[in-house]
Structure formats: C-alpha cells, structure tokens
Amino acid sequence: MKLKQILAYTNDILTEQMLAEMANIPADVSGIGSVYMYASTKDVVNGRHGPRIKISNVPNRFDVNDCFVMLVDKFNPTTKGIVKLSKAAVRDIEDWVRQNFEVLMSYWNKAPYPMKDGTVVGPILTKPELIAALTPLV
C-alpha cells in the first residue's frame, strides 16, 4: 500500500471516529430559539483544549465556517471567536450551559459527574444518551 493510500485511509478512520463523538444539539433540545450547537468529548480533541461547545452563527443549522465556541464552565461560560448572535441569545446559551453543566461534563469526560445535590450524572457515553440527558432552557 502506498503512503498516500495509508494516510487517506487513516484520515477516513479518524474522521469517522471524530464524527461519532460529536453530538449535534438543535434548538428543540436546548430550547434556545434557532440556535444550533454541538458538543464533543475530550477524546476528539486529544487535549488541544478544554470542554467547550461550538455554536453556529447560522440559524437552524450548523455551519463549520461560521461559528464560535463557548467554554463549558459552571460559573463563567465565555465565548471565543466571532459572535453574530444577539446578546440575549448568548446569555441564554450561557444559562443553558450552567443548567446542563454536569451533563456536558459527563459527556466530555465519558465518566460519572457529581451534581450539587449529591447525585451523580452518567457516565454519558453516546450521543443519544447526551441528548436524552440535556434539559431545555428554563
């Protein structure tokens, strides 16, 4: 097998694994207008950054070329990148991250995560488990 074929094959496998780890979070799951997001696990990024979600600036769909990130932080979720959404939408996303922090962290770490009340979330290992565990913004 030629080197180019090996690299192409390896890239295909890695891309499939990465896509398997990324969970799309549409507006009907988050409860936030027409905002479309996705979350990944730490395995996908190989330690390049901490827990975060990507948020599309384009309504009702994810556009990889027009998005920004929000750090998943219980007390101070902050954005990085060019944000084209309204300030109100960004505040709603911040509130949603705080509300779903333990669930997002369980998915990120693929491990159980303790909640404030002493119960434990997870481990959340799959995209369907994540979507089922997330709660819409209240």
User: How many whole angstroms from its chain centre is CA 125?
Assistant: 13
Q: Assess if residue 29 is contained within a domain.
A: yes
Sign (positive or negative) of CA dihedral 104, 105, 106, 109: positive
Q: Assess if residue 4 is contained within a domain.
A: no
Q: What is the pTM of this model?
A: 0.81
Q: Assess if residue 1 is contained within a domain.
A: no
Q: Assess if residue 14 is contained within a domain.
A: no
Q: Assess if residue 16 is contained within a domain.
A: no
In the chain, the number of structural domains is 1
DSSP string, 92-130: HHHHHHHHTHHHHHHHHHTS-EE-TTS-EE----SHHHH
Domain that holds residue 128: 22-133
Q: Assess if residue 86 is contained within a domain.
A: yes
Residuewise pLDDT in 10s, the chain (138 residues)? 565 655 455 444 444 444 445 799 999 999 999 999 999 888 776 667 889 999 999 999 999 899 999 999 999 999 999 999 999 999 999 999 999 999 999 999 888 988 778 888 888 888 899 999 999 998
Q: Assess if residue 11 is contained within a domain.
A: no
